[in-house]
Amino acid sequence: MYELRKWKILCFFCLFFAGMIGIINVIMIKDEKKERKDKKGAEYMAEIKETGKILEDACFSCYSGESCIGYEKRTVIKQKSKCGEWRASSSKIQIKLLSYFEIMRYGFPVELEVQYTETLSDKGNLCDFHVEITSGGQPMKYFGMINQNSYGKENVQMRIDSFGKNQMLNFSVPQVKKTEREKRKEGQVNYVKNLKNTLTEESEDENSADILTLQGTYGMEYLLQKNRLIPGDTRVFLRFEPTISCFLKVQMECFSEEIVLFPDGKQISLFPVKIHSEMVVTPDEKGQGDMAAEEEMIWIDGEGVIWKRYVPLMKMTYWRCSWEDVLQKFQPKRESEKKSVSEVMEKEEPFSDVMEKTWDFGMQMSVPILNFDAESWAAEDNSEQKTYRLYAAEENLVDFQSVFDDAEFQTGKIGKDEKEKNFIDITVYRSDGRGRKDFISSPPEEKDKAANHYIQTDMDKIKEIASGILPEEVEQEVLAREIENFVHKYIIHKEGSRGFITAAEVAETRCGDCTEHAVFFAALARARNIPTRVVLGMVLVPEERKFIWHMWNECYIKGRWIPFDATISQGFIGVDHIRVNAGALDQSDLAWMLYSVAQIMGKIEIEIR
């Protein structure tokens, strides 16, 4: 096993943050200069007033524990007609969202922000959307509209702009029906006044009354106020998530009223609503199976107004407040309080001590090792294989079977311990030991060779760099190892202040963490005709006694998927890597990869066997 200084490991590894933010819909982008925030906010409000009549403003402060780390401002607008008149009640509604977050990630300050706009019909059906996300680099832009094809079925047409590359995508809206249980659940409550207003009952086609409608992402509060929930009531609908290009089946269930204590001491009687979301797997997404669901909670009053929201995955709580409260409560951390990894290295200060002083997203999501012994681990640094037992932490229920892929250098076995607690034993093999002898690798698909909006293999800069790495006649495995070494040296600014930037931007800026090493490696390898995919998993950090989230690559060479890690660049993958899954990092793979990881992130503990 290799040995690296603590500062180097912490500099390299990071969480695949941007994608997660996409599953749970906390999308955010960076302001280049903090002093421009007020001006930008004023411009944002001026644009809204020009768009149409403001029906509602909603502001939320976001907390992790006792720390306010960001805010969200959402505005509901009735659009103007072409002649300048306010449209009738049947007109379209526009939802505008502005979010800003400032967090720490493995010691690096990260500023993230989003501008999201969607247009809804008066019934809440999604008509079009525009998302602009920046997480430290160039913005990623998504433009989309919903229309009908020649067969009368809805589809989503979307364009993605990323660092000079445009990609057009089309998605057919799946025809998902309510289950019998969902229909029975809806019928259990007698709400005569609301019944005539429910979306499914307004359908003119009786045969399609049970087909779930495609509704907006951020129009939820508007819809809740139009069609109010009461205890025992449910809503079921489809939602499209642009950032990971997938459809989600969403079920909302309302529970009995309870008293909620706010951070400022006030108490409000609210109705808790559980929001249960699961990815809809379409027939063309072969081999991916059913995805386990994600859940969050909101608390509403009798008018359907949302006052509180809790996102378990990131352990974040949103509290409704005024815009003045946001400006007062959200105080960006002073530069003197933002300790970087380099400062930790110079002062020889334990990294865990630094993390106790400020909230760090990366460390919050890391996985503790229950029985780590530094001496035993150091004595086994050349092990050919190692087995880890992964438990669901506390009361969490994890479907390990749906999360972990079977792979060339890793195998898993599901079981239960003496306390009937579910676990999975993961055995990993050092890659230069040639892995499992009985495993047959699946061949690459076309997407493992192609360019996409993260891996811009077809751009001139990428082609130029790739062509200069060894001559054409060298063996592919030799070439792949040289690309691994080249990427490691090429990225000279090893830092994690950027959320997730594209390969083309890495080629220009020469900066990034493990995600940037992985996408840049994939772009160069594909440019040299080596099928390559990106691996999402965990790596052990001995100094922290934890596994942290990490990305590396696999190349298909001579009938086998061989792993490479350009972040470390030691020529092989050791037994300190636990692989969750791998994919081409195109839109169809991204949702599947992230949803798998979401099932275990923040929910498991690891024991070394």
How do residues 11-61 score in pLDDT, each as one tens digit?
333 333 334 433 333 333 334 444 444 444 555 455 555 556 777 788 999
pLDDT at 49: 52
| Residue 3, pLDDT above cutoff 70 | no
Nearest one of 230, 243, 150 to 453, comparing CA atoms: 243
How do residues 479-491 score in pLDDT, each as one tens digit?
999 999 999 999 9
133 with 243: CB under 8 angstroms? yes
How do residues 458-509 score in pLDDT, each as one tens digit?
899 999 999 999 998 899 999 999 999 999 999 998 876 666 788 998 999 8
351: which 2 tokens? 């990294």
Q: Give the mean model confidence (pLDDT) for residues 246-253.
A: 89
Q: What is the 3-state secondary structure (H, E, C) of 14-40?
A: CCCHHHHHHHHCCCCCCCCCHHHHHHH
What angle, 0 to 180 degrees and rounded to 10, lies between the N-to-C axes of helices 514-527 and 460-467?
Answer: 80
481: which 2 tokens? 């190892």
Residue with tokens 């749970």: 24
Nearest one of 467, 496, 483, 475 to 525, comparing CA atoms: 483
Q: Amino acid identity, residue 44?
A: Y
Residues in the chain: 609
177 pLDDT band, cuts 50/70/90, is: confident
| Residue 595, pLDDT above cutoff 80 | no
C-alpha to C-alpha distance for 436 and 427, rounded to whole angstroms:
10
pLDDT at 568: 93
Three-state secondary structure call for residue 128: strand
Alpha helices of 493-581 — where are they, by DSSP H?
503-509, 514-527
The dihedral built from the CA positions of residue 566, 567, 569 and 570, taken in this order, carries a sign that is negative
472: which 2 tokens? 């054409």
Three-state secondary structure call for residue 191: coil
| Residue 593, pLDDT above cutoff 50 | yes
pLDDT at 50: 53
pLDDT at 295: 82
Q: Give the mean model confidence (pLDDT) for residues 408-430.
A: 87
Q: Give the mean model confidence (pLDDT) for residues 398-423.
A: 83
Percent of the residues in the chain that have a pLDDT greater than 90, as a whole number:
27
Per the model's pLDDT, the better-predicted residue between 197 and 389 turns out to be 389
**Could you give phi then psi for residue 189, rounded to 5 degrees?**
-110, 135
Per the model's pLDDT, the better-predicted residue between 587 and 306 turns out to be 306
pTM of the predicted model over 0.85: no
The residues facing 539 across adjacent strands are 548, 577
Distance of CA 74 to the CA centre of its chain: 21
Q: In 324-448, at which residue ranges do the beta strands (DSSP E only) sit?
A: 367-368, 385-392, 410-416, 422-429
* DSSP strand pairing (214-215 vs 234-241): parallel
Q: Give the mean model confidence (pLDDT) for residues 227-233.
A: 88
How do residues 263-309 score in pLDDT, each as one tens digit?
888 999 999 999 988 888 755 444 444 455 678 999 999 988 999 99
User: Poorest-confidence range of 83-87, 109-113, 380-384?
Assistant: 83-87
User: Poorest-confidence range of 308-317, 339-348, 426-435?
Assistant: 339-348
280 with 255: CB under 8 angstroms? no
296 with 584: CB under 8 angstroms? no
How do residues 51-95 score in pLDDT, each as one tens digit?
567 777 889 999 887 778 889 998 888 876 554 444 444 468 889
pLDDT at 91: 67
192 pLDDT band, cuts 50/70/90, is: very low
* Exposure letters 144-162 (e unless 16+ CB within 10 A, then b): bebeeeeeeebebebebbb
In the predicted model, what is the mean pLDDT of the chain? 77
Q: Amino acid identity, residue 390?
A: L
512 pLDDT band, cuts 50/70/90, is: confident
pLDDT at 18: 38
pLDDT at 152: 62
C-alpha to C-alpha distance for 553 and 524, rounded to whole angstroms:
12
| Residue 427, pLDDT above cutoff 90 | yes
130 pLDDT band, cuts 50/70/90, is: very high
534 with 516: CB under 8 angstroms? no
Residue 492, number of CB atoms within 10 A of its CB: 8
Three-state secondary structure call for residue 47: helix
pLDDT at 144: 92
Q: Give the mean model confidence (pLDDT) for residues 575-599.
A: 82
pLDDT at 65: 76
pLDDT at 256: 95
Q: How far apart are the first and last CA of the chain?
A: 17
Alpha helices of 301-358 — where are they, by DSSP H?
323-329, 341-347, 351-357
The listed range with the strongest mean pLDDT (147-156, 300-309, 347-356) is 300-309
- DSSP 8-state secondary structure symbol assigned to residue 495: -
